[in-house]
Amino acid sequence: DVKVTQSSRYLVKRTGEKVFLECVQDMDHENMFWYRQDPGLGLRLIYFSYDVKMKEKGDIPEGYSVSREKKERFSLILESASTNQTSMYLCASSSRQGQGIPGRSGYTFGSGTRLTVV
Amino acid sequence: DAKTTQPNSMESNEEEPVHLPCNHSTISGTDYIHWYRQLPSQGPEYVIHGLTSNVNNRMASLAIAEDRKSSTLILHRATLRDAAVYYCILRVVNTGNQFYFGTGTSLTVIP
Polymer length in residues for chain B: 111
CB contact at 8 A, A103 and A52: no
- For CA atoms B50, B12, B5, A37, the dihedral sign is negative
Residue A42 has its nearest CB partner, among B41, B43, B104, at B104
Residue A100 has its nearest CB partner, among B32, B96, B98, at B32
User: Over the stretch A25-71, which tens digit does the pLDDT of each residue have?
Assistant: 998 888 899 999 998 888 999 999 988 989 999 989 999 999 999 99
Helix (H, G, I), strand (E, B) or coil at A89: strand
User: Over the stretch A58-110, which tens digit does the pLDDT of each residue have?
Assistant: 989 999 999 999 999 999 999 999 999 999 999 999 877 644 555 445 788 99
Which one, of B2, B95, B111, lies nearest residue A105 by Cα? B95
- Give me the mean pLDDT over the B62-78 stretch: 95
- Give me the mean pLDDT over the B37-41 stretch: 90
**Contact across the interface for B96 and A31, Cβ inside 8 Å:** yes
CB contact at 8 A, A112 and B42: yes
pLDDT at B40: 86
Across-strand partners of B92? B98
CB contact set of B108 (below 8 Å; sequence gap of 6+): B9, B10, B11, B12, B83
In A, residues 12-51, which contact B (CB 8 Å cutoff)? Answer: 31, 33, 35, 40-45, 48, 50
